Amino acid sequence: MKTIGLDIGTTTVCGVLVDGNTGCLIQARTLPNDAALPSAYAWERKQNPQRLEAICRDLIHHFTAVNEDIAGIGISNQMHGILYVDAIGHALSPLYTWQDESGNQPFVPDMSFADRLRSQTGHAMATGYGLTTHWYHLQKGLVPTGAAKLCTIGDYIAMRLTSSTTPRIHTTNAASLGLFSLATGEFDPVALHAADIGIDILPQVSQIVECVGQTPEGIPVSLAIGDNQAGFFGSGSNHDTIFVNVGTSGQVSMLTNDLSQSTSIDVRPYLGKQRLAVGCSLCGGDAYATLKKFYERTASLFGMQFEPMYDTMNAAATTLYSTSDRLAGFAVDTRLRGTRANASQRGSITGLGMDTFTPEHLNLGVLIGICDELYNLSAQIPCLSQAQRLVGSGNGLRKNPLLRRIFSDTFEMPMRVPLYEEEAAYGVALLALHTFGVYTTPEAAQALIPYLKAD
């Protein structure tokens, strides 16, 4: 008996096939997310939902073509983004992703759409949140004619795979849209009324990861969950764990009983009645990728080419990190895309001198900056003192031993890394084993997760 896990990411879509008896990853396949759409507006970030559906079906067929004993399909997705569907479940719009900056556009001078929505509702709304994007569309008359519901891309894919006509949404995804009440596990009707957002356009919310239907071949499909929560589960993290993910962006997460929100820490639904405290950096691994592009452009200006660039950058940074003075007062702030609380925030370099104006210092400074932003966010999580384990995931950590070392040194505990890549896809494949009755508890399925040997 096997399960399939799908993770619909911003830049890739991953599928995994997992053995239900052992938890072993049988096969993984990752395809590029080539669904990006052009826009007339620089602030929009759009993807083609039909193309994403085709990629997901391709991955499923890749596994089912040679495996008949598939017990179910689990789905994880990039959070916050929305698309609109009609009354029979057909997409009427692109997917507006979490990177969409419509909410940062001026509502009035000195006040953005996100700021205005925040002041009207009392909720910490940011650009990229689905209901911030929707509210912008309402004010601009951009909601497509015939739109019956809005949903996340994971909800849309689950609906399409099962030939359903109405999307359903798990609390992990519902909360990511904003204007959500942790206390009730539903969208906040008072806030929706204050924003003049009709509740009828929102999908039905479920607090359980349940079956939403079957594919035409009879394979059950579970409700989609957010990639942050899927990665937490798929990494084997629990109550004593600080979970760090560094991919395009970055997150630091811990289970919490404290429902209080702040400008820097989100409290998000997890599984059942559990909650995750999450600090997000908008420019995690992308900060290092941006530095790489800077070097590549510089090389191009001089008619040169260097490969592999990351290996060269890491080697230089590792040598510097091994010295006693390391950065000697040099520091890089990697908030190149701002923060959830302050979209206008930008990165900076301090301590730049004759002895620190070197590529080695830039390389190491960016890596330490990525870590420091997440470490500073973690310090605002109320239950941080309970942490006994540090678990890392995402390609930014998995492919960079020096960055793992920096995190271990900063958090003062060794970092464990799951053996299998694509933790979110693996996580929903394991969770499907519980959803469809192979394991009686999620923890029983999670106990199967192996780890890499420590560095």
- Region of 235 (left: φ > 0; alpha: ψ -120 to 50; beta: rest) is alpha
**Domain 237-417 CATH (choose: 3.40.1050.10, 3.30.1490.20, 3.90.1300.10, 3.30.420.40):** 3.30.420.40
- Which pLDDT value is given to residue 447? 83
- Please indicate whether the domains covering 2-229+423-446 and 237-417 agree at the CATH topology level: yes
Burial state string for 307-323 with b = 16 or more CB within 10 A and e = fewer than 16: eeeeeebbebbbebbee
Which CATH architecture fits 2-229+423-446? Answer: 2-Layer Sandwich (3.30)
CB atoms within 10 A of CB 185: 15
What DSSP character marks residue 163? T
Please, are residues 386 and 366 in contact by the beta-carbon 8 Å criterion? no
For residue 407, give the nearest of 237, 232, 245 by alpha carbon. 245
User: If the chain, 455 residues long, is cut into consecutive pieces of 10 residues, what is the mean pLDDT of each piece?
Assistant: 94 94 93 95 95 98 92 96 97 96 95 96 94 98 97 98 97 97 95 97 96 95 95 90 91 85 83 90 92 93 86 94 89 90 88 94 97 94 86 90 96 92 92 87 84 72
> Hey, what are 174's tokens?
């519902």
> What is the secondary structure of 242-276 as a DSSP string?
EEEEESSSEEEEEEES-----SSEEEEE-STT-EE
Q: Where are the beta strands (DSSP E) in 93-133?
A: 95-96, 106-108, 111-112
Domain boundaries, the chain: 2-229+423-446, 237-417
Identity (one letter) of the amino acid at 414?
P
The residue type at 113: F
Residue 176's pLDDT is: 96
> Residues 6 or more apart from 237 whose CB is under 8 A from it?
243, 253, 255, 389, 391
pLDDT digits (tens, 9 = 90+) for 177-230: 999 999 999 999 999 999 999 999 999 999 999 999 999 999 999 999 999 999
CA angle 366, 369, 371 (to 5 degrees): 115
Peptide bond into 308 cis (omega under 30): yes
255-287 pLDDT tens trace = 988 776 677 888 999 998 899 999 989 888 999
Q: How far is CA 257 from CA 38, 113, 212, 419, in A?
A: 42, 32, 29, 29
If you count DSSP H runs as helices and E runs as strands, how many of each does the chain have, helices first?
14, 26
